[in-house]
Amino acid sequence: MAPNHFLFFDLPAELRGAILTELLVSNSSIILHDSTFFSRPLSSPSSFLNVFLVNMQMYQEASAIFYSQNRFTLNAHSHRLPVHLTSRGGFLSEEGQDARRRIRNLTLYLTRVGGEFERVLGPALSDMVLNGNLRALGLRLGPPSGLGMSRAPDPDMVQRPPFQALLRLLADPYLETVELSAWKVHLSLFCPFHRKGSPSVESIDDQGLAILRNNPSWVELDWRSMVEVYGMGEKIVRIGERKY
């Protein structure tokens, strides 16, 4: 009588890969963290931990597919990064470095480009590009923080180190795909960089905030022009397989 089971690792590597792709690759982005105060950007993530825990060979084959073929989202729409992201074992911690470096496609939602971006997020993302597999980056700048709404936006913000760190990241030549978007309520300094699209009505209040009406929630920005206008200091140049 023929056995009614088979050994997964007896299958050809191509077939194992096809099966694992079906199991592990999601149509929706995998949300690493969501602290948004408006509607969730993407559906809830699924857990693939049980597949990883089968044995070491399964982990090696499954995790390679999981990290390289899925899209990931880090939604940091809060004034400060949650502690669990930077504490031991968190995504932005030293222990999370190996997993971070394996991600190929990441979308980051931010409320503000400030000190935490310069000190924590920026270096982590740059490391994911330089020493890892990150090649597709989407950055969405959400509604300006309510904590700073009582004062006008800083006109020198684009010259400060956090924003310059953002521009250098966007212009990294190892990134193959870069998208920069702003929420329909955004700082007026982004207005000259709106990509051409459907007609919309825009108004700017006395606090320097622009509001787009009759427009989708997000407006794409021409980040290359922004780098040309506001970028300062040395640019990253790709030479062979190294950056200098």
pLDDT digits (tens, 9 = 90+) for 143-161: 765 544 445 556 678 889 9
**Mean model confidence pLDDT for the chain:** 83
The amino acid that residue 242 corresponds to is R
Q: Scanning the structure block, which residue is given the tokens 């409320």?
A: 111
| pTM to 2 decimal places | 0.82
Q: How many CA atoms lie within 13 A of 156 on its CB side?
A: 2
Q: Scanning the structure block, which residue is given the tokens 């936006």?
A: 153
Q: How confident is the model at residue 45 (pLDDT cuts 50, 70, 90)?
A: very low
Q: How confident is the model at residue 197 (pLDDT cuts 50, 70, 90)?
A: low
The mean-pLDDT minimum among 75-89, 153-167, 195-209 falls in 195-209
Instruction: Quote the distance between the C-alpha of residue 8 and its chain's center.
Output: 34
Residue 221 CA to residue 88 CA, distance in Å, equals: 35
As a whole number, mean pLDDT of residues 108-114 equals 88
User: Looking at the predicted structure, is the pLDDT value of residue 26 above 60?
Assistant: yes
User: Looking at the predicted structure, is the pLDDT value of residue 190 above 80?
Assistant: yes
Residue 39 CA to residue 94 CA, distance in Å, equals: 31
- Helix H or strand E encompassing 71: strand 71-76
